[in-house]
Amino acid sequence: MTRAALLLALICTFPVVGLAELPKGFVYLRDIDPTIKTEVRYASMNNFVGKRVDGYKAKKIIITEKAAVALKKVQADLKKEGFGLKVFDAYRPKQAVNHFVRWARDRKDLRTKEKYYPDISKSSLVGGGYISGLSRHSSGSTVDLTLINTAGRELDMGTPFDFFGTESSHNSQIPTPEQQANRRKLKAAMERGGFFAYHKEWWHYTLRGEPFAGQYFDFPVK
């Protein structure tokens, strides 16, 4: 057997590191519905941490297959009304959650305070319902998202994604009637699709009957 043939045989026998498939039950959202827009903030510097978050090696959305299929139905429902979904995050590695906690405990790093948490102290983010040592995102069926129009422009929700403050709550009376209507439209569409909302964040939804409830994964987004 030649060296080339031997090398080929070895490659076929032993999987190449880095080419492993996603864990069973997980998919890339684009493979289920490529019409859903995405903007993976945590794989960039445009987020409340101010840098690429640990575990995000690519600007891709990974999610459980069950949740992806549900989102596809929500997208189809919204298209009838001239709207669509834009997803910021879904599956989140545990290492990313740990990164958030370390950042929140660093009281000297206030670079993003004015944009993301102008009215509350950084020390209150952990334990205040905004940042936790465990996240349902790490189970794969929780998603952060918003609505867009036919031109791909985000609807006005009153606050940006990941804004830490009472204004982001579903019960907030601060947004205008138009902003409140936009939030209700998103909430109604997601609930029809089988998701339920997190009361403090208008963008945060979890699939009812999620397949990996109570399990927290740590494989990287790549």
Q: Write out pLDDT tens, residues 24-73.
A: 999 999 999 999 999 999 999 999 999 999 999 999 999 999 999 999 99
Report whether pLDDT(219) > 70.
yes
Residue 194 to residues 69, 74, 75, 168, 198, Cα–Cα distance (Å): 11, 9, 13, 22, 14
pLDDT number for residue 18: 37
Integer Cα distance of 198 and 190 in angstroms: 12
Integer Cα distance of 47 and 163 in angstroms: 10
Closest to 67 measured CA to CA, from 124, 154, 136: 136
Q: Exposed e or buried b for every residue in 148-183, given b needs 16+ CB within 10 A?
A: beeeeeebebbbebbbbbebbbeebeebeeebbebb
User: Are the beta carbons of 27 and 65 closer than 8 angstroms?
Assistant: yes
Q: Write out pLDDT tens, residues 153-198.
A: 999 999 999 999 999 999 898 889 999 999 999 999 999 999 999 9
List domains and CATH numbers for the chain: 22-207 (3.30.1380.10)
Residue 35 to residues 32, 41, 76, 118, 175, Cα–Cα distance (Å): 9, 19, 10, 34, 29
Print the SS3 string covering 73-95: HHHHHHHCCCEEEEEEECCCCHH
Query: Which amino acid makes up residue 64?
Result: T
| Residue where the block lists tokens 């740590």 | 218
51 token code pair: 């840098």
Is the pTM here over 0.85, yes or no? yes
Report whether pLDDT(23) > 70.
yes
Integer Cα distance of 108 and 219 in angstroms: 30
Q: Look up 201 and say whether it is catalytic.
A: yes
Which residue among 39, 167, 191, 201 is the active-site one?
Answer: 201
Q: Is 51 left (phi over 0), alpha (psi -120 to 50) or beta?
A: beta
**Based on the number of CB atoms within 10 Å of its own CB, is 137 exposed (0-12), middle (13-18) or buried (19 or more)?**
buried
